[in-house]
Amino acid sequence: MINLKPLKIAGVGYCIPETVITNDDLTKLYETSDEWIYSRTGIKERRVVSGNETAIDLGFKAATQALEKSKIKPEDVDCIISAASVPPQLYPTLSCTLQAKLGIPKGVPAFDLTAACTGLIYALQVARGFIGSGIYKNILIVASDNNSKITDWNDRGTSILFGDGAGAMVVTESTDGVDDILSINISADGSIGQLIYTDMPGQNCPLVKPADSVGDGKIRMNGKEVYKFAVTTVPKYVEECISKSGMTSDEIDYLIPHQANQRIIEAIQQRLKYSDEKVISNIKYYGNTSAASIPIALVEGVEQGKIKLGSTAILCGFGAGMTWGAAVVRLREGIC
């Protein structure tokens, strides 16, 4: 066993765009109904960027809030990781753009990590490795996605689900010896990768034989199989993560899951035998905001009095890849 330095979750922030698209609005695009969408997903509305607003603007606001809460100044951040699947530009990466925008010094490493909706937990595990080994001390994680930009708005099987949003977390080396990560695990299975995919739009070199098809850059999903995968894999995985933490599920205060489908959240809740008060769900208002959904649910849960800080939580996510992950964490007072 490697002895890692303890990690502190020092600050968390979020940002959601103003523009609301309701289920009724979607009936203008295709045949559907509020009843159909709500009963199958728990979603009533979602937020999307409009005009020139992008994941950079949302990520900037979420990161600024997380930095303020953490009391870490931009000049003291020594690594930036963006969990971005739908950034406005492939490069420069979202993290590089945010480095300049936030006033984080030149030279500080900045990179994006793509693990779709599990991105926040993947980034947390990577940050834990860096901090635990002493390579970096103060890491900014930003999860910001504009799913609306790659949604096929003619496809009623996918466009009902997704929304835009950003979340951010500042993690630092813990100076009081207390580790805020009680256990964490990340996983992937590329053999079922085609359950959710987005082909890069592209072209052929005009001097070569063309490929049979070029990507259209839109989300494609086998919803039924993703649903089955999620309800069979995630609840069991969450239980294993809790057991690794040395705690029992009863001892953990909250479940803060990735917000993909209310029925998937309920499957995890039932497995843990949690009352509704212990489960944080805001999917009704935001839909699936990818890697941003966990920090959005956390901070909003605190703002709405559903989460009391000075507590513990199990975070869990799953998404394209397929990827999945879970972490039992300590939520200190004052982090959001």
Q: What letter represents residue 82's amino acid?
A: S
The residue (of 161 and 170) whose beta carbon lies closer to ligand UT7 is 161
> In 3D, which of 10, 78, 47 has the Cα closest to residue 286?
47
From 117, 166, 297, 307, residue interacting with ligand UT7 (rule: CB under 6 A): 117
3-state secondary structure at position 19: strand
Of 96 and 294, which has the nearer Cβ to ligand UT7? 294
Annotated catalytic residue 147: no
Cα–Cα distance measured from residue 226 to residue 240, given in angstroms and rounded to the nearest whole number: 21
Four-CA torsion 183, 11, 161, 146, nearest 10 degrees: -120
Catalytic one of 23, 138, 282, 288 = 288
CB 19 within 8 A of CB 50: yes
- Is 79 a residue of the active site? no
User: Given candidates 9, 10, 37, 186, which one binds ligand UT7 under the rule CB under 6 A?
Assistant: 37
The answer to the question of residue 260 lying near ligand UT7 (CB under 6 A) is yes
Catalytic residue among 15, 96, 258, 316: 258
Contact pattern for ligand UT7 over residues 212 through 231, marking x by CB under 6 A: ---------x-xx-xx--x-
Strand residues in 151-298 grouped as ranges (E): 164-173, 181-188, 196-198, 219-221, 254-257
What tokens were used for 222?
A: 């086998």
Q: How many residues bind ligand UT7 (CB under 6 A)?
A: 20
146 flagged as catalytic: no
Handedness of CA 288, 289, 291, 292 (dihedral sign): negative
Pull the structure tokens for residue 220: 């494609």
Residue numbers 149-168 binding ligand UT7 by CB under 6 A: 156-157, 160-161
Q: Which CB, 40 or 137, lies closer to ligand UT7? A: 40
Instruction: Please report whether residue 259 would count as binding ligand UT7 according to CB under 6 A.
Output: no
Catalytic residues: 117, 258, 288
Q: Which residues bind ligand UT7 (CB under 6 A)?
A: 32, 36-37, 40-41, 117, 156-157, 160-161, 221, 223-224, 226-227, 230, 260-261, 288, 319
